[in-house]
Structure 1
Amino acid sequence: MDLAHVAICVSDLDRAMAFYGELGFEETHRFTLDGVENVYLGRGEEADLQLRYDADRTTPIAPSRADVDHVAFTVDDVEGTFETAIDAGGAPVLEPTEIDAAGAFAAFVEDPEGYTLEFYRWL
């Protein structure tokens, strides 16, 4: 079994696409179903990230680490990806550091919507 994609709701599709575009994601395909725009972003052969935008949504999008702690991405350059994400509008959560218990070098950033992203490489 392989992970196909992770879907997140966004309040500003253009802002989300610009942010993830700065991280090297490109649109792979899109469709609209029941008024919700679904845009898939990918990085080569890796799993997709699905952005779901509903212009008629009346409730705020409120990502909570109590419900979805983070979405993790493997990267070759943790520090560089961390800086790119900050420059693209993300907010630092944890600067690049070794996490010995996990055997990883990782950094955490909050995206413009409030989702926490982890960028890591194995030690």
Structure 2
Amino acid sequence: MGNASILHMCLNVADATASIAFYEQFGFEESWQFTTPDGETTNYYVADDSGVELQLAETDGETSFEMGSGWDHLALGVDDVDATVERIDHRGV
């Protein structure tokens, strides 16, 4: 079984500027950003010195999230994508 590492976690945020300022208080710095091809969502990344990275997906001011909807995804890195998919496919993923 191969090893997996956490690449980043994506959080939905109403105000990316305020969120970036919040994470800067913990030693994170804005590292890069991109806007989705449909132009609807801008994603900002902040990273710390150890390589921990958070993706902040701006929600155009939406502040009301149900339990569990404030985050979008957890990105994992694996050595072999095909082997990993084959290994977890039968587990309902």
Does the TM-score normalized on the shorter chain lie above 0.5?
yes
Structure of larger gyration radius: 2
Gap runs ≥5 in structure 2: 70-93
Bigger RCO (CA 8 Å, 6+ sep): 2
Q: Secondary structure at the match of 2:5?
A: coil
CA RMSD in angstroms, aligned pairs only = 2.1
- TM-score, structure 2 as length reference: 0.59
Scaled by the length of structure 1, the TM-score of the pair is 0.46
- Show structure 1 runs of 4+ deviating over 4 A: none
Q: Using the aligned pairs only, state the percent identity.
A: 28
- The answer on whether the counterparts of 2:31 and 2:46 sit within 8 Å (CA) in structure 1 is yes
1:37 pairs with one of 16, 23, 42: 42
Aligned to 1:11: 14
Report the structure, 1 or 2, having the larger strand content: 1
Check if 1:46 corresponds to 2:37: no
> Could you say if the C-alpha distance between residues 61 and 6 of structure 1 is closer, same or farther in structure 2, counting changes exceeding 3 Å?
farther
